[in-house]
Structure 1
């Protein structure tokens, strides 16, 4: 089957956009030392150990209740920086290679386990390499999902995407490309906003609103899988979108309106009950 030039061009442009977006995220993933994002010691310990330990990379401390033994590079990667001061580089971390420490600073029900369990797949004996893999995975996930969200209706989403890029640098990009749980939260809320707007603006075009609705649901799951307070953020975004899109004088009760209303109820329910 011969592909049309327009389709090839569409795919090529989106692939290039995803690649450039990925490289933007990945640049920080490689550039920052382990421990470079907020609470990374807590997050990495939670990833490395879970709640029951993760031999051989992490094990329960037999001498301390609710404590884990794991590499210092994962449990306290910024330890040497705190000891030496801000005038020293992360090269001081070489001194703690191969050393272990006991800590009770890990997730014990405060955050959802899905995000932490997923990134545990990348845990290995080399802490730095493992952390870079996790960051690259988050960067790739963000690049793909955001590109898909924008591509569903490029004509209407282009302005929103450009506006997002303007405000995303540097803090949002910094968090998305990190191992912080906020990475998935920011990816989810970004895609949810774009996908929901796309679905509502194209509710008479099934081939657009259907995949957009599916992506919005995936975004809800992604957000709730990373931070428990993400549901409140999504609720605020959803209410703002509905208020913006529907004015009392413009509501017409037809099939599309009923479907949209029912979808809204389902979406709100999913905000508070994880998939």
Structure 2
């Protein structure tokens, strides 16, 4: 019989936590007007033309060019860009007619899948369309992460949670609930490596499910950005380093990895954006001097800090207070230090590779583009690698016990404060501009969504949802003191699983001994303890050799 505590934890994980996560991302979807994510003048036009020519949405001027006609108010949406004192009031959403745009991804600069999917929601009502796209991406992120969480072996789940939570504030949340292709790039990075690794650690239906989720995540990333296609291939390498075995059970993960590489290569080679690795992202700049190269090498960590709030949001014009990056960076650094406490060779090699990539990738792009840190290369390009780095570092079999208690409480408090502050600043930047400041981001608002709840309500609800999500994660963790007084036995495996399910039941100690005998557990997938820790199950002493203080037990 299952204990009520276990049933409660499963209910929280299965329903309430994903709902709170969606509400948190939904608050970010409402926090800024149409066109607020970087380069949205291009991305929105590409979305409206993502399914080809459609009357009133994307029309061909028939002049032999790659220009397109889109709703007149679409390219003017970011009228406030680079002017933080300008609120979102400057945009006129109901402007009639069509206007010519010269950039709509007709030349295949980006992979087409993201734009084609978002284009399903495109209509003549631009505000409603953009909000639908943002909420869809928020739901997609929550849904995919939830699915991967429940299929993963239990001991690997903290790596997924820590990697996403620690890097979600503020840039991760802003991007995931946006119309920017980076939303899928970040989501793909969080999913592919750990789902494929999980496939190497499981059997039966669970292995196939994880392989399928890894492939789906790679498809999202490679179909959104060329660099995300490279990251998907890198995730395959990391997963195989961490979990590959010379056994027939490794066939499914290996084949899945090969398919991911193939699919990613197709998207990468068909996107003009992929040439940036060789030619750079700009042309015509003079070569960098030795001093500039050295400066780039030393300044690259500022891009990492930028990914956790050190750089401005949106069009790099929404400043956040220093409290945000400091608090989030403490959590990121803490996750790394907690994770590297016990490194085996495989995890050491994988972690060194991903940490090196965080330095090498931006340095090469800066070198090829002939620019210095602070221009062209943005922190969101590196956010997927940062997510992977935290995840690999957190892949410990005793991760649950490592985060139980004060560490989790401090990390959750730091992230909650950072989330609350950054959401308030982001809303206020667009409701009034930065020339006004108040606790209520809706006070004297010049702009807000038609028919939406007030800015203050969105801010408070989103912040409480985020805090509640982290609090329920803490509540859902097993209690160490309770587990210390219980034993673990194996139940019959559920249908479709090749493994037994561990269920804690109290067991008395053996007569004449302070300890009970130990036997191995049939399923360590759901066991939060480190691999190799035996499960306490009493065994009767031999009749010929009664147990006692002179006859120690195992």
Same fold (TM over 0.5): yes
1:211 offset after TM fit, Å? 0.7
2:40–2:180 CA contact under 8 A, matched in 1: yes
Could you tell me which residue of structure 1 aligns to residue 47 of structure 2?
A: 47
Distance, in Å, in 1 between the alignment partners of 2:105 and 2:261 is 27
2:51–2:119 CA contact under 8 A, matched in 1: no
Alignment partner for residue 238 of structure 1, among 227, 236, 239? 236
Could you tell me which residue of structure 1 aligns to residue 407 of structure 2?
A: none
Distance, in Å, in 1 between the alignment partners of 2:93 and 2:204 is 59
Could you tell me which residue of structure 2 aligns to residue 200 of structure 1?
A: 200
The secondary structure found in structure 1 opposite 2:21 is helix
TM alignment of 1:114-263, pairs within 5 A: 114-153=113-152, 154-202=154-202, 205-246=203-244, 251=245, 253-263=246-256
* The structure with more helix, counted as a fraction of residues: 1
Distance, in Å, in 2 between the alignment partners of 1:26 and 1:212 is 27
1:144 offset after TM fit, Å? 0.2
Q: Which runs of 5+ in 1 are unaligned?
A: none
Classify 1:239/1:60 alpha carbon distance in 2 versus 1 (closer, same or farther; 3 Å): same
1:258 offset after TM fit, Å? 4.5
Classify 1:116/1:263 alpha carbon distance in 2 versus 1 (closer, same or farther; 3 Å): closer
Could you tell me which residue of structure 2 aligns to residue 32 of structure 1?
A: 32
Could you tell me which residue of structure 2 aligns to residue 74 of structure 1?
A: 74
Could you tell me which residue of structure 1 aligns to residue 112 of structure 2?
A: 113
1:208 offset after TM fit, Å? 2.1
1:34 offset after TM fit, Å? 0.8
Distance, in Å, in 2 between the alignment partners of 1:105 and 1:259 is 41
Distance, in Å, in 1 between the alignment partners of 2:173 and 2:194 is 17
Classify 1:267/1:70 alpha carbon distance in 2 versus 1 (closer, same or farther; 3 Å): closer
The secondary structure found in structure 1 opposite 2:92 is helix
2:111–2:225 CA contact under 8 A, matched in 1: yes
Could you tell me which residue of structure 1 aligns to residue 261 of structure 2?
A: 268
The secondary structure found in structure 2 opposite 1:167 is helix
Distance, in Å, in 1 between the alignment partners of 2:14 and 2:266 is 33
Distance, in Å, in 2 between the alignment partners of 1:271 and 1:57 is 30
The secondary structure found in structure 1 opposite 2:86 is coil
1:9 offset after TM fit, Å? 6.0
Distance, in Å, in 1 between the alignment partners of 2:233 and 2:260 is 9
When structure 1 is superposed on structure 2, of 12-21 and 144-153 the one drifting more is 12-21
Distance, in Å, in 1 between the alignment partners of 2:95 and 2:125 is 9
1:168 offset after TM fit, Å? 2.1
1:157–1:198 CA contact under 8 A, matched in 2: no
Distance, in Å, in 2 between the alignment partners of 1:69 and 1:266 is 38
Length-normalised TM-score, structure 1: 0.84
Distance, in Å, in 1 between the alignment partners of 2:81 and 2:37 is 15
- Cα RMSD (Å) of the superposition? 2.7
Could you tell me which residue of structure 2 aligns to residue 88 of structure 1?
A: 86
2:37–2:178 CA contact under 8 A, matched in 1: yes
When structure 1 is superposed on structure 2, of 6-15 and 235-244 the one drifting more is 6-15
1:46–1:107 CA contact under 8 A, matched in 2: yes
Distance, in Å, in 1 between the alignment partners of 2:253 and 2:97 is 56
1:183 offset after TM fit, Å? 1.3
**CA deviation map 1:178-197 (0-9, x unaligned):** 11112122222212123112
1:67–1:102 CA contact under 8 A, matched in 2: yes
The secondary structure found in structure 1 opposite 2:36 is coil
Distance, in Å, in 2 between the alignment partners of 1:75 and 1:150 is 39
**CA deviation map 1:182-240 (0-9, x unaligned):** 212222221212311221232xx323222111111111211122123322111122212
Q: Which runs of 5+ in 2 are unaligned?
A: 268-554
Could you tell me which residue of structure 1 aligns to residue 96 of structure 2?
A: 98
The secondary structure found in structure 1 opposite 2:226 is coil
Length-normalised TM-score, structure 2: 0.44
- Matched residue count: 263
